[in-house]
Structures are given as structure tokens and as C-alpha cells.
Chain A
Amino acid sequence: MDQTESGKKQYQELVKEVSPNSKLLANCIRAFVGGGLICVIGQLIKNFFLAQQLGEDSSRLATVAVLIGGSILLTGFGWYDRLSEHIGAGAAVPITGFANAIAAPAIEHKKEGFILGVGAKMFVIAGPVILYGTLASILVGLIYYFVR
């Protein structure tokens, strides 16, 4: 009886020790495969536009547009959230995750109206990204101006 009790305790401790790490590993593998595949899709789209003689700049923008459009469509049907559940950061870190972060709150807060609902909530995550991205670019520009 004592043995099984202590055995149980040991087992539970072992589970506690091991599971967070194996969970992290599983999450990382899923993020790796999912995020990697989204990048491969991006590369395929870009190669397609480059093959249409669109030029480097236009191909890049067209690729971003297709990725963002696709992601927002999936968001509208509620499928991007399901994808996020499976691949975690693999869905959040690519530009498609940024698009999802714009569309999801915009749809969610539609009932609050098109100004303070859709208009404001659309930027709840995109806003900080734009803000700090812009500030970082000013810093880079300032330093580059003086050292170039």
C-alpha cells in the first residue's frame, strides 16, 4: 500500500517534471512545421509573380497582398483561429498572423459600430506594431543619417 502510494507520488512528480518540456518541444515542432510551410507558400507565390515578369517590388507587394488576403479570408470563416490552436507561433509570427490580428478584432467588435468598433479595434495589435516599428525606423534613419 505504502509502496504504491509513494510510487504514485513519484510518478506524478515525474509527470510534472517532464510534461512542460515535452509540451514545449511539441509546440516548437508544430510552430516550426506550420510557420515553415507558410513561408514556403509565400515563396511559391512570389516565384509565380516573378515568373509573370512583375518585377521585384511589385512581386513582393503582390505576394504580401495574397498572403494577407488569404489569411483574412480564413479569419472570416474562423479557420485561422483553429490553425493557431494547432501551430501556435507558427500562425502568429508570419505576416498572415499580423493580418489575422487586424481582421479578427475588426469582425469581433463589429456590433460596436464601424468607427469605434471596427475602426478602432482593428488596430488593437496592429497599432503597437506600427507604432514601435515606425519609432525603430526613425532611430535607424537617424543613426544612418549621421554615420553613412
Chain B
Amino acid sequence: MELIRAFIVGGIICVIGQILIDKTKLTTARILVIFVVAGCVLGGLGLYEPLVNFAGAGATVPLPGFGHLLAGGVKKAVDEQGFAGIFTGGVTAMAGGLTVAILFGWLSALTFNPKEK
């Protein structure tokens, strides 16, 4: 059941992205930005958490989940550190994923060469 919920919710979030790509002139980069900001705002309002509880990876794997992670991080940091948390929470929350992505991205550039076109 957990997997089916992840499949359906994750699929729907991707369909929203597909409709935005096909129906508007938005580029993929803009849609990714919109999704992360939307996830962060929804997370800030406490509206994304129920979706995460319902769909698990179906809500955390798509990019709005990344925004939700930032919102959760900044709230936690404000609770713990007060005012300073406003500026430390977001980047702290993304630190793990971002560092992994940068490391693997750099290693891939070291290893692979561009495809001939």
C-alpha cells in the first residue's frame, strides 16, 4: 500500500510538471525553481507534511520535497537558535543532499567525456 501511495502521489506531482512544460513556455529550470519554492512555502505553512505522511517517498523524492526539507530545517533552526536560525536552517537542511550531488557530479565529470553529437 505504501508503495502504491508513493507511486500515485509522485506520479501526480510529475504530471503537474509535465502540464506546466507542455502548456506554458516555462523551461525545465524554471519549473524546478517553482517546485522547490512551492514546496518550501507549503512546508512553511505546514501543508506539505500531511502529504509526506501519506505518500512517503512519493512526496519527498520530487523536488517540492526538497523545498519542504528546507522549510522543516529553517523552522527547527529557529526553534533551537532563535533569530540566527532564519539564516542557518535552510542551507543546513540541504547540506547533505547538496554535498552528495556536488561530489558525484564532479566525479562524473572526471570520469566521463561528453557524448559525440
Contact = CB atoms under 8 A, between A and B. Distances in A.
Closest 5 CB pairs of A and B: A35-B14, A137-B90, A39-B10, A36-B11, A140-B44
A130 to B, nearest CB: 7
Contacts of B67: 133, 136
17 contacts: A24-B23, A36-B10, A39-B9, A72-B108, A77-B112, A88-B21, A90-B11, A93-B31, A95-B62, A103-B108, A106-B109, A129-B63, A130-B94, A134-B91, A139-B44, A141-B86, A148-B78
Interface in B10-56: 10-15, 17-23, 28-29, 31-33, 35-37, 40-41, 43-44, 55-56
Contacts, number: 266
Contact of B105 (A87, A99, A134, A136): A99
Interface of B: 2-3, 6-15, 17-23, 28-29, 31-33, 35-37, 40-41, 43-44, 55-58, 60-63, 65-67, 70-71, 73-75, 77-79, 82-83, 85-87, 89-91, 93-94, 96-98, 100-102, 104-109, 111-115
A33 B7 CA distance: 8
Contacts of A95: 61-63, 65-66, 97
Contacts of A64: 96-97, 100
Contacts of B109: 103, 106-107, 110, 114, 118, 122
Interface in A65-100: 65, 67-69, 72-73, 75-78, 87-90, 92-99
Contact of A129 (B7, B36, B100, B107): B36
Contacts of A60: 60
B68 to A, nearest CB: 10
A145 B78 CA distance: 6
B32 A102 contact: no
Nearest to A110: B109
